[in-house]
Amino acid sequence: MAATASSYSITMRLHTAPDHGVVGTVATTVASGGGVVTAIDVAESRHDRLVVDVTCSAADQTHSEQLVAAVEAIEGVQVYKVSDRTFLLHIGGKIRVESKVPLKTRDDLSMAYTPGVGRVSMAIHENPEDVRRLTIKGNSVAVVTDGSAVLGLGNIGPGAALPVMEGKAALFKRFADIDAWPICLASQDTDEIVRAVEMIAPGFGGINLEDIAAPRCFEIERRLRESLDIPVFHDDQHGTAIVVLAALTNALRVVKKQLPDVRIVVSGAGAAGTAIVTLLLAAGAGDVVVVDRQGALAGTDDSLPPAQADLADATNPRGVTGSLQEVLVGADVFVGVSAPNILDPEWIADMAEDAVVFALANPDPEVDPAAAAKYATVVASGRSDYPNQINNVLAFPGVFRGLLDARAEDVTVDMLLRAADALAKVVSDEELHPSFIIPSVFHPDVAKRVASAISGKAPAPPTAEQPLPL
């Protein structure tokens, strides 16, 4: 059983016999069970017992429970307590608001609040364009969801979506120094969502729509773009599309193929699939076929709902029909944004030579990346425990940094293409490899280059705190 990173990490507090050799037995037992021990600390040593904290990672919840049971079965070991480190991290939430100015004296209060703040309010009233300069609006984003399509978990509602939106806000701050707020709306009515966002928009410089189910998300985005004078960006669509196009650009560099010449199969006709296809076509892709549960979408199919009919009309120039397996024959590229385990690894053998496979369903991809790598030259997924992670955090912080810096009022296709090109170029020719087609989210140039591509402004030079990458 393959262990993963810290998302399924636990700490077991053990009471054991006063024999330090038991620590080695515990470590061996965890390893034999497929876990990875990341830390062992003796918290207390007495003549009658040891208190030992063992931290290890597992493949999933069931696996972590199996590891606990295996340790508890060791003679002389009692599992006193088990802590899930992911849940511990979320206690009390992951973000907070802090004042940027001192509030220690009466003078401080008189300027930051009344009476001084009244002068600033009147200045904005007389010159409304100053609101971005004199308030947080110029560096703030609302992360808006209705909880209808959260990660791969489905329609779990706004409360359950809040940890994800908090995480998004934390990423905005970490990677682009943007102040973002999670806005979880207790409605899945399109009109109510649009009106709610319109009413809160004066306090924000941009709107990031997140985890809203298709096709409702398309109409919400369209209407908000028409009614608001700040950019509206649906990360599940456009963020995903930017990173996929950047990664595919580099994957095709690896296999020495050109985007206009390759045959691309996209599995999934939802928000992400639609945006990926739209951006691929804008970038010059000439042969894209979209597949859903019923098979290939074709413009001749009158039974398709409107959103899928539009997608079919824009794609499938050869008019192919059939299942995913049938459509994949001879294809150069597979991009999956659909469901787990729908692609048999052996089908990849029927694709063109030097096939590229992006299996991006989360948390479980369309095909196991390790199995796909037996047949494909380049494999990417949404997982952090395999090479080539396609992660939206590579795009959205830099996108909004650029939008805010430029005081943009809209997001254009040209901006998205420029962002994808900038992201792809972060990977140099020397670095490019089948297992390295996309930079790390922690690369110091990623957000700066994407922001520069969006805003048209040159990126700031590195500081002592942000040195040039080695």
Catalytic member of 81, 94, 104, 113: 113
Q: Is 168 a catalytic residue?
A: yes
* Cβ contacts of 129 within 8 Å, gap of 6 or more: none
- Gap between the Cα atoms of 299 and 429, Å rounded: 40
- Gap between the Cα atoms of 113 and 103, Å rounded: 10
At residue 368, the 3 state secondary structure works out as coil
Q: Where is 52: in which H helix or E strand?
A: strand 50-57
- DSSP state at residue 230: S
- Gap between the Cα atoms of 2 and 384, Å rounded: 13
From its phi and psi, is residue 64 left (phi > 0), alpha (psi between -120 and 50) or beta? Answer: alpha
Is the CB of residue 349 less than 8 Å from the CB of residue 328?
no
Is the CB of residue 276 less than 8 Å from the CB of residue 266?
yes
What percentage of the chain's residues is helix, strand, coil (to nearest 5)? 45, 20, 40
**Count of H-run helices and E-run strands, the chain:** 17, 14
- DSSP state at residue 299: T
79 burial via Cβ count (<10 Å: 0-12, 13-18, 19+):
middle
CB-CB neighbours of 278 under 10 Å: 20
Q: What residue type is 80 in one-letter code?
A: Y
Catalytic member of 8, 168, 386, 448: 168
The answer, yes or no, to whether the previous bond of 215 is cis (omega within 30 of 0) is yes
Residues annotated catalytic, as ranges: 113, 168
